[in-house]
Amino acid sequence: MLNLTYNVFLFLQYGLALLSFVALFFVTAPYGRHSRKGWGPRMGERFAWILMEFPAFFMILLFYVLARGWTLIVPTVFILFWELHYVQRTFVYPNLIRKSDRKIFPVTVALMGFSFNLLNGGVNGWYLYRTASQYTVAWLWDIRFILGAAVFLAGYGINLYADRELRKLRDKNPDEYSVPRGGLFELISCPNYFGEMIEWFGWALMTWSWPGLAFAVFTFANLFPRALANHRWYKKTFKNYPKDRKAIIPFVL
């Protein structure tokens, strides 16, 4: 029964990725620059981010404790990587984004984010719980782990850097959007999404797991259409927007 439940949740993760990928080409999630009326009540942006991301932070930790993960090296390394991202995203990022806390974030979007993170944190945590003793220390020398960890950290670094650059623009000009300049922004409109996407492909590689891959696929399905929408928005909004800049994949798209 437990096996069946796990498989159903895993299947749901892949199903949601596919559904989101198709739907997000037609409907861009209505927050940030794509904010618009007709999506019901709104809440403070800071609290929305904490609410959305908390289940991902918490669920994996719960399974780690249930599995007594601290007695095992590889699960401990995995959770350190995961929480490196989620402590930042849940507790640090929301406190940096905006000085004011106007009610601008649609509750529906926050609830969708919350539900997905509950599922995703749960399935990744459950997977680690089920397999905790199967990863021996030798896994840390496996090329999949080494490459995956390197890709994860590279993506994490890019994501942090790009979010920080955007924040600087927001701080300089709290009520307007500006054209980001420098670094990866010269190549693509959304380096933060690019970093996030490669980060979770790194996770999939280093854990070599179906739930890890499901999260990587979902992140791509979620952020790729939004990056295209952001890129279109930049080109429409700024007449002088750099012509050679791509949306999300340097030199390609």
Interface ranges with ligand NDP (CB under 6 A): 32-33, 97, 159, 163, 166-167, 169-170, 177-178, 180, 192-193, 196, 219, 222-223
How near is the Cβ of 108 to ligand NDP at its closest, in Å?
15
How near is the Cβ of 7 to ligand NDP at its closest, in Å?
23
How near is the Cβ of 9 to ligand NDP at its closest, in Å?
17
Token pair, residue 186, equals 């010269």
How near is the Cβ of 29 to ligand NDP at its closest, in Å?
8
How near is the Cβ of 65 to ligand NDP at its closest, in Å?
24
Q: In the complex with ligand NDP, which residue's Cβ is closer, 63 or 193?
A: 193
Assess contact for 208 and 219: CB atoms under 8 A.
no
